[in-house]
Structure 1
Amino acid sequence: MMTSQRTLNVQTQKKAARRRPTRPALDNLRLLWSNRKSRVGLIILGAFLILAIFAPLIAPYSPTDNSFDRSADASGAHWLGTTAAGEDVLSQLIYGARISALVGFGAGGISTIIAMLIGLSWGYMRGFGAEVVGFFVNLFLVIPSLPLMIVIAAYLQNGGVSVIIAVIAITGWAWAARVLRAQTQSLRGRDFVQAARFAGERSPRIVFREILPNMTSIIIGGFFGAAVSAILAEAGLEFLGLGDSTAVTWGTMLYWSQNSNAMLTGQWALLFAPGLCIALLATSLMLINFGIDGISNPRLREGSTGR
């Protein structure tokens, strides 16, 4: 009788502990929109996503059509001029949003998943296994990411967008894993985790069903940070000629503008337009991160008078 009563008490404690106040997704979107910085970021990001999705309908020409005059100045037919190969710069700029968005969200998502799996497991486990995982994480933290990306991309040169995504994802997960590990360690001793452990739940279920929901805002914020790093890294690798030079991306536009001496020939749009788009897309994600911080920490919300 005492055993049954104790089991019932543990289950009741677990249910009470799991009744954590959650904010619906609609309320979170309203909080994002109420933040002025986040609102600006959402508008800019939405504009780039529209360009990426509807590029065939928005672009005036095909990005690979080289039947126009070479290195032509801006005109009514070509708002930003043409490249040294006779391609429309505006069309390439619009189509370039596709690859940059794909690489940013793809590599950012993969690196965030890797960081989440390793960080949560590393923070919950103890003993020799935690030391082994910590060694590999610290190894990736010590090795400079940019030289490592350059070496891997040079070895797998012209492998396409998938190679660029894989290279950025492999080299960009360690710091986020360390942050998630620290947060997991702080949650490991909470009452709802102890109740789940006493109820006999397995460690994977405790990690991904009890601890993970409490770290959603941190993971989302880490995803946006990883996406920004991926966009900048993709542009850097393409600019160095370590990607697929035949693909139409903002990075390859910078690469070909450098090879054709765009500044000397007066083709300023070929150089500054993709650079400005890269900066705006990265800035939009960073501005959205302000709203994510406001969701996770009420003291950071605009108009909040945190005590």
Structure 2
Amino acid sequence: MKYDLFGNGKVTFGVVVLGFFVLLAILGPWFTSTVLGLDARANDISAISSPPSAAHPLGTTQFGQDVLAQVVEGARGSMFVGFLGAIVGTVISILVGVPAGYFGGTTGNALNFLTNLFLVMPVLPLIFVLAGYLQGTGLVMIAFIIGVFGWAGGARTLRAQAMSVSNRDFVQAMRMLGESNRRLIFTEVMPHLYGWIASMFLGGLIGAVMAEAGLAFLGVSDSSAISWGTMIQAAQQQSAVLRGLWWWFVPPGLCIALVGTAAALINFGVDELANPKLRSGSRRVAKRTAAIRRTALAPEGV
């Protein structure tokens, strides 16, 4: 029985929400500036710390900057860091984890040692050290730092899966027939890892968006860049919580939560696609739910 990934309601909801934020990051700044006439960096001195109104749908900051325009502009920064960080981390995981599991021996041990080294490495202090050397760290560098220090867990998972697949009979048979290692990796081993890779990418996306927000909150970011994390940092510095300026920090926090929820829901669907046990379990739950509904709707005495 074929599994319909997009027939899953959770996955559909996740794709719609994540797609909305991707479109918001691409087209949102143009829409707010051209159609709504709002500028994320403009200061309206006549509406400082103003609550939501017709002129400013999400209110303004302590400096008179429109919160809606900043949320839309921040979507571009946060989603950029999320996708770039996830891409960097996933690529490094594939380049290290798959050869480590396929080749084994000296090559596998060396790559596994590198993976374990990054697993036990104190990531947060190292990020602060790098940020100290790289003054005015931009979003591109933040994304690369997050990706470079966040690949080890995925590489370890891919190593275990690649080791399992490479020891199966069909791979061993192709190896005995003289097939090259590159062809075996890309045509025989990698197709069995696509579900794990997709799951790792989505997890990396969530982690990168939240890591950027955390680093920005701690001041390790470019102060001139606008992201959801820098918005929360600015609100914290200006005591927005104590002053009751909820419209300043709630929208970016809600956006981060929605992106994380959407990616997690898609990840659940990918896990069900890659893991037959989860798939069969979800089918059993669906069958039991349908049976209960039929029993409840059936006329009495039937």
Give the share of equivalent positions with the same residue, in percent.
44
> Would the aligned equivalents of 1:153 and 1:167 in 2 still touch at CA under 8 Å?
no
Residue 14 of structure 2 corresponds to residue 41 of structure 1: yes
Q: Aligned partner of 2:284: which letter? A: T
Quote the Cα distance in structure 1 between the aligned partners of 2:125 and 2:9.
37
> Would the aligned equivalents of 1:48 and 1:281 in 2 still touch at CA under 8 Å?
yes
> Would the aligned equivalents of 1:81 and 1:269 in 2 still touch at CA under 8 Å?
yes
| 1:103 aligns with one of 81, 101, 105 | 81
- Across the two proteins, how many residue pairs are aligned to each other? 279
Quote the Cα distance in structure 2 between the aligned partners of 1:129 and 1:217.
25
| 1:115 aligns with one of 93, 100, 112 | 93
Give, in angstroms, the shift of residue 199 of structure 1.
2.1
Moved more, 102-111 or 186-195: 186-195
* Residue number in structure 1 paired with 2:157: 179
Change in CA separation of 1:303 and 1:96 when aligned onto 2, cut-off 3 Å = same
* Residue number in structure 2 paired with 1:284: 262
Q: Aligned partner of 1:280: which letter? A: L
Question: Residues 91-240 of structure 1 correspond to what in structure 2 (within 5 A)?
Answer: 91-240=69-218
Question: Residues 13-52 of structure 1 correspond to what in structure 2 (within 5 A)?
Answer: 31-52=4-25
Residue 39 of structure 2 corresponds to residue 66 of structure 1: no
* Residue number in structure 1 paired with 2:299: none
* Residue number in structure 1 paired with 2:283: 304
SS at match of 1:73: coil
Gap regions ≥5 residues in structure 2: 286-302
Quote the Cα distance in structure 1 between the aligned partners of 2:30 and 2:104.
55
Q: Aligned partner of 2:81: which letter? A: V
Quote the Cα distance in structure 2 between the aligned partners of 1:151 and 1:37.
40
Quote the Cα distance in structure 2 between the aligned partners of 1:204 and 1:52.
38
Quote the Cα distance in structure 2 between the aligned partners of 1:91 and 1:106.
23
> Would the aligned equivalents of 1:153 and 1:163 in 2 still touch at CA under 8 Å?
no
Change in CA separation of 1:129 and 1:56 when aligned onto 2, cut-off 3 Å = closer
* Residue number in structure 2 paired with 1:16: none
> TM-score, length-normalised on structure 2?
0.87
Quote the Cα distance in structure 1 between the aligned partners of 2:174 and 2:134.
46
> TM-score, length-normalised on structure 1?
0.85
Quote the Cα distance in structure 1 between the aligned partners of 2:44 and 2:237.
20
